[in-house]
């Protein structure tokens, strides 16, 4: 464990005016309250907060952040309280410690809805004070460095969480060194064989070709000396995980992979950056499409550098990054450079961004209401790189890599995005799904009355655009769903001899804790609430009577009194079809249609077969069948399909889009039917509809019975 005087010395190296006495008192307080606590490795627990503080000194952070690191687990794991920490070390430190404690309690790898809510809290904490995240990242880094002492299942959980959340967050903040180390540590846990394989290949390559990094570094220095440019040159092989990711993305073997070496040139001033670029391109052939100028168009986290890839010695591709010393400091520290100290004063780095503005820029597009949408948008924002495009007036619009003209339109204004009909890129009309490139000029063409289309969801990449399109579609669909829901409700009520009056619907909505009858009808029309359930809410006795002709609990003949049964999900048999039962351990008897492909695998086990028949009589419409539909992608078609099914007195229990094309949709519709005759009526009605290209039953032999 690092001694308190050694820690103070680390801080004094970059901040001679640091409050050494306060750091010593925080060290002593943390040591006292954590006394008797130990890590999984057997070390005293306080060695962990001290190590976290030491990591933060490498980023030259202020006293409050260092002290927070020393105390970051005190409120959570000891008898220390918020008020006590505030009294001893001030409100600023207490707020930061409390913020880190709340982040520690977030289970970021939990269920979708819980994870989305926790991400909201994560970004809220970032907006209050970004230093909370800096401490949390350093905390995670040290935990990953010492992860071997944990149980294997815990190691895997922490490693996945690190790869999915903390590593990309560090990268988004511009702390590339931390991102790379977190990824490598997670990779070591999740796929040690692959990591070791890549390391072995590097060793073999070095043995065969010599020290390639040293040779190329020497070549670059020779060229810079010849041009009389003062600069530092650093080279290295890329991290194993970075190499592995390239192999997976490009589906290449290690031997066919290029640019596995990276070089960094640190110049005296900005003008020299461009001089160095000229020298590099004159000496080696530039690889087309691999040049980026982040000096003239910086990233939102303050990152500035020139990136180029060239064919270097022996034809090997190498990536070269060119930047000034100040740019390099921001590239290493990212947003954290805002708090960096040097010689006792806040470092005056002109490229360090204001954290508050950075967080605002990061979160301004994360306005999705739905949990899944929000989670998707967060991960899009965390993983993106930047593309810079120009408006017709010369304004620069920043977009993530892979963005389309539609993303561009929504980045300008939601109203423009919603009314987009086409786009011009560099003066040439292009499809809306075109992927934009750096430096292109984009012009959006709009029209009154234009509305977003469902297919746009697959075209756009930004969270802002996706959320705006979904919001517009919900508003547009609501009127259609209300109309469809009224028809489905009318049919369901008439089935039991009642009328779906506004008063009846209002009463049902109140009982079901929904807003009003309009909200209820919209949910019926969108298949969120079955119309039969609404009728059952108001008239349970009528619904029960209408289904009493055949006992829904025992609709088949041939079972013994102690045997339970269930319909096979693989073939979804319905009354009227020939059936057979198969006994399964722990499941009772599963009913299969006689032509179910699963039965062929069981021919050698006749002892498991049970002769079954459906009970004669009228069955309740509780037998779900999946229909595979291909329909035209035109306005109103989906509504007519749902109306047709409702007219056959059938309920839609679920709906899932399988494929969306500009001209056709393919979807799976789960319909509740009485028997095979009822199913035949529904399918005949759908086949007669001109906008239905195909209709069939969806049967899945791979699905477990």
Residues annotated as part of the active site: 76-77
**Angstrom distances, CA of residue 438 to CA of 114, 391, 398, 463:** 37, 12, 10, 20
Instruction: Find the helix packing angle between 371-383 and 112-128, rounded to 10°.
Output: 50
Contact criterion met (CB below 8 Å) for 564 and 588: yes
Neighbours of 692 (CB within 10 A): 19
Angle between helices 112-128 and 131-145 (to 10 degrees): 120
Under 8 Å between Cβ of 103 and 136? yes
Residue in this structure with the two tokens 């000396």, named with its chain if needed = 225
The CA angle 15-17-22, to the nearest 5 degrees, is 100
Cα–Cα dist 119/161, whole Å: 13
DSSP, collapsed to helix, strand or coil, labels residue 479 as helix
Phi-psi region of 574 (alpha: psi -120 to 50; beta: other; left: phi over 0): beta
Estimate to the nearest angstrom the gap between the alpha carbon of 549 and the chain centroid: 50
For 19, the token pair is: 């409050």
How far is residue 347 CA from its own chain's centroid? 35
Handedness of CA 117, 120, 125, 126 (dihedral sign): positive
Tokens of 413: 């204004």
Helix, strand, coil percent values for the chain (each to nearest 5): 50, 15, 30
Non-local (6+) Cβ contacts of 421 within 8 A are 445, 446, 447, 450
Provide φ and ψ at 34, rounded to 5°. Answer: -95, 5
The rounded distance, in Å, linking the Cα atoms of 469 and 414 is 9
Q: What is the separation of C-alpha 438 from the centre of its chain, rounded to a whole number of angstroms?
A: 25
Cα–Cα distance measured from residue 536 to residue 23, given in angstroms and rounded to the nearest whole number: 68
- Phi first, then psi, for residue 665 (nearest 5°) are -115, 145
Alpha-carbon gap, residue 549 to 405, rounded angstroms: 59
Question: Alpha-carbon distance 673 to 664, whole Å?
Answer: 26
């Amino acid at each position: 464990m690092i001694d308190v005087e050694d820690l103070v010395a680390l801080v004094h190296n970059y901040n001679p005016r640091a409050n050494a006495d306060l750091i010593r008192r925080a060290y002593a307080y943390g040591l006292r309250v954590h006394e008797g606590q130990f890590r999984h490795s057997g070390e005293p627990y306080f060695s962990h907060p001290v190590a976290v503080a030491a990591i933060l000194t490498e980023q030259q952070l202020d006293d409050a952040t260092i002290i927070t690191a020393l105390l970051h687990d005190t409120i959570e794991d000891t008898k220390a309280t918020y008020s006590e920490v505030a009294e001893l070390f001030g409100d600023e430190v207490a707020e930061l410690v409390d913020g880190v404690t709340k982040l520690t309690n977030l289970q970021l790898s939990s269920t979708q809805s819980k994870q989305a809510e926790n991400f909201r809290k994560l970004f809220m904490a970032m907006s209050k004070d970004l230093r909370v995240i800096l401490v949390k990242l350093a905390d995670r880094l040290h935990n990953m460095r010492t992860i071997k002492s944990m149980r294997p299942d815990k190691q895997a959980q922490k490693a996945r969480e690190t790869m999915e959340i903390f590593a990309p967050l560090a990268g988004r903040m511009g702390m590339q060194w931390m991102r790379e180390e977190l990824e490598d540590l997670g990779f070591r846990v999740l796929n040690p064989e692959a990591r070791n394989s890549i390391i072995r290949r590097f060793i073999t390559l070095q043995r065969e070709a010599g020290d390639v990094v040293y040779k190329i570094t020497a070549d670059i220095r020779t060229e810079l000396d010849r041009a009389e440019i003062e600069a530092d040159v650093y080279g290295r092989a890329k991290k194993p995980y970075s190499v592995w990711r390239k192999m997976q993305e490009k589906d290449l073997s290690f031997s066919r992979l290029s640019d596995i070496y990276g070089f960094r040139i640190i110049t005296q001033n900005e003008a020299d950056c461009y001089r160095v670029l000229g020298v590099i391109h004159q000496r080696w052939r530039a690889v087309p499409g691999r040049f980026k100028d982040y000096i003239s168009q910086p990233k939102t986290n303050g990152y500035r550098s020139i990136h180029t890839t060239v064919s270097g010695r022996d034809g090997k591709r190498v990536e070269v990054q060119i930047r000034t010393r100040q740019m390099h400091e921001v590239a290493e520290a990212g947003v954290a450079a805002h708090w960096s100290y040097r010689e006792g004063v806040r470092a005056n780095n002109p490229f360090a961004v204001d954290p508050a503005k950075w967080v605002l820029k990061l979160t301004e597009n994360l306005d999705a209401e739905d949990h899944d949408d929000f989670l998707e948008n967060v991960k899009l924002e965390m993983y993106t790189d930047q593309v810079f495009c120009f408006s017709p007036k010369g304004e620069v619009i920043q977009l993530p890599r892979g963005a389309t003209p539609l993303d561009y339109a929504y980045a300008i204004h939601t109203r423009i995005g919603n009314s987009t009909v086409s786009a011009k890129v560099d003066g040439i009309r292009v499809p809306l799904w075109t992927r934009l490139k750096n430096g292109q000029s984009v012009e959006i063409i709009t029209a009154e009355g234009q509305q977003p289309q469902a297919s746009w969801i697959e075209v756009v990449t930004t969270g802002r655009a996706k959320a705006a399109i979904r919001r517009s579609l919900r508003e547009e669909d609501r009127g259609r769903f209300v109309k469809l829901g009224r028809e489905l409700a009318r049919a369901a009520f008439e089935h039991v001899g009642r009328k779906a009056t506004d008063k009846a619907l209002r009463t049902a909505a109140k009982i079901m804790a929904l807003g009003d009858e309009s909200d209820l009808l919209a949910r019926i029309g969108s298949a969120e609430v079955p119309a039969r359930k609404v009728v059952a809410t108001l008239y349970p006795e009528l619904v029960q009577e209408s289904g009493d002709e055949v006992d829904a609990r025992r609709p088949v003949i041939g079972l013994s009194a102690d045997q339970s049964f269930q319909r096979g999900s693989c073939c979804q048999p319905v009354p009227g079809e020939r059936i057979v039962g198969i006994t399964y351990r722990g499941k009772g008897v599963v009913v299969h249609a006689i032509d179910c492909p699963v039965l062929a695998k069981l021919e050698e086990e006749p002892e498991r077969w049970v002769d079954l028949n459906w009970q004669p009589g009228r069955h309740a419409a509780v037998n779900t069948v999946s229909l595979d539909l291909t329909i035209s992608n035109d306005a109103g078609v989906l509504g007519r399909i749902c109306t047709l099914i409702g007219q056959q007195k059938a309920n839609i229990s679920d709906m899932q889009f399988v494929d969306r094309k500009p001209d056709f949709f393919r979807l799976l519709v789960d319909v509740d039917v009485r028997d095979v005759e009822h199913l035949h009526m529904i399918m005949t009605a759908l086949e007669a509809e001109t906008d239905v290209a195909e209709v069939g039953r969806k049967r899945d032999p791979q699905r477990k019975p």
